[in-house]
A and B are shown apart, each in its own frame.
Chain A
Amino acid sequence: MTETPLSHPENREPIAFTQEELGWLPWLEPFPTEQLTERHWAGLVDASRAKSPYFLLLARDPDILQARTKTDKDIFYNTSNGLPRAERELAATAASRSNGCIFCASVHSRFATQYSKRGADVQRLLDEGVEADIDSRWNAIIEASVALTDTPIAFGDEQVGALRAAGLGDPEIVDVINGAAFFNWANRLMLSLGEPTPPAKP
């Protein structure tokens, strides 16, 4: 039994970063929906994720998918204390921009815009890259996220100092670390298991 990756010769991959809604096609066969067991459903966490080829592919190892999803939700959606949602999404976008994940950057730049109402500033990060000069607070969050994304990791006292100077306390800095670190997880799955598709025509 030889398995082969799936290919999508008709797909025209997006060639630039965008806040538009992209699709994603898997390079490996997702788990068949009709064979999902209780353990798989637990792994998917939200039943609606069974519609997504990405989550169905990850459902092949349901236990790690479940733990990953719950880690993700607390880092980004637990709004008690810490960094505002918009800036957690900014950290996710900056990590994705640095790693080059056009798909992840599209989703999280859209969220960053939704929560900050600063679509033009978010777009500059996408267009100009992580060197874009936005304002001292956003620059510090972007730079810290990029330093965390570098391998070897370049995050150090300098980045902590800049975050503190921009008004972030330790709870906010922990959220920057978590948000950027988590996207180093997400980017590697999205980039290596499939490819993005262009925005659906309205």
Chain B
Amino acid sequence: MSTIISDVIDHLAGVQPGSSLDRLRDQRPQAREYAQKSYLALFEPELPGHVTAIERYAVATFVAGLHRQPNVTEFYAASLERLGHPKLTDAIREEIARGSVEGPYGRYPQGPLTIEDSEGPVYQVSTDNRERLGSRLVAALEHAHLLVFHPRDASPAALQRLLDAGWSTTDIVTLSQLVAFLSFQIRVVAGLRVLVGASSRASVDADQTQIFTGVLASGAV
């Protein structure tokens, strides 16, 4: 996929080569280059360790779906489907629908911030999908939901559940980076899409001004 798409953020945000946003992104050349290298390190790793490609794309599809960003979700779902597991993709889509809430919520340590505690659901994979997904992926999705919506509720007990499901310490670092990176990538994409929309509306306005000026010059009004 990387041979076709040279910059995933541009691709997902609709940043056209040579556009003003393209040039703006070039003002932070290392950020741009290393955001792409982060994507590659997580989705096309040289040393994948024990976290499989299916696990990476399944979690990514789930995380993008929880952010309700359809084009990002379809981007990761396409890779998940390409790996040949249509039932797995269906299960992830069901879990996205089940797990979609609003964040950030969560609790602070007992003290002056307690008045800011805001309750939200503790997500669990549905009974039907637990078998389809397997215990390792079930634990990963439940942890991803915690990180997406209420990271301040994280705890050693949450990490224990991952360890119990067969995630090693190193696997957990990779999984945490994966979810956390997507939280970044999806926000950059969403933010740039708003700017792309704003600048294309501005150019439509400019075009219309020009047409109007042209009409005035022709004396047709």
B116 nearest CB across to chain A (Å): 7
- Closest residue of chain A to B160 (Cβ to Cβ) is A5
DSSP class of B's interface residues: helix, strand, loop or mixed?
helix
Q: Which of A66, A80, A159, A189 has the most CB of B within 10 A?
A: A189
Residues of A within 8 A of B (CB): 2-7, 13-17, 27-29, 57-58, 60-61, 63-68, 70-71, 73-75, 78, 80-82, 98-101, 129, 148-153, 155-157, 159-160, 170-171, 173-175, 177-178, 180-182, 184-189, 191-193
Contact check, B38 vs A150: say whether CB atoms are below 8 A apart: no
Stretch from B76-84, B132-140, B182-190, B213-221 at the A interface: B182-190
Write out the residue numbers on chain B whose beta carbons fall within 8 Å of the beta carbon of A57. Answer: 173
Residues of B within 8 A of A (CB): 20-21, 24-25, 27-35, 37-38, 40-42, 45-47, 49, 66-69, 102-104, 106, 108-113, 116, 146-149, 151-152, 154, 156-160, 163, 168-170, 172-174, 176-177, 179-181, 183-188, 190-192, 194-195, 197-199
Contact check, B108 vs A15: say whether CB atoms are below 8 A apart: yes
Other-chain contact of A178, B20, B28, B146, B151 (Cβ < 8 Å): B28
Known: A5-B159, A15-B112. 15 other contacts (CB 8 A): A28-B159, A28-B172, A60-B169, A64-B45, A71-B30, A74-B28, A75-B28, A82-B27, A100-B151, A149-B187, A152-B67, A170-B24, A182-B184, A184-B183, A188-B179
A53 nearest CB across to chain B (Å): 13
- A and B contact pairs by CB, cutoff 8 A, 15 listed: A5-B157, A64-B177, A71-B35, A74-B29, A74-B31, A99-B152, A100-B116, A148-B191, A149-B104, A151-B104, A157-B194, A159-B194, A177-B195, A188-B151, A192-B154
Other-chain contact of B184, A13, A101, A181 (Cβ < 8 Å): A181
A23 nearest CB across to chain B (Å): 15
Bound-complex Cα distance A151 to B184 (A): 12
Bound-complex Cα distance A63 to B170 (A): 13
Contact check, B199 vs A170: say whether CB atoms are below 8 A apart: yes
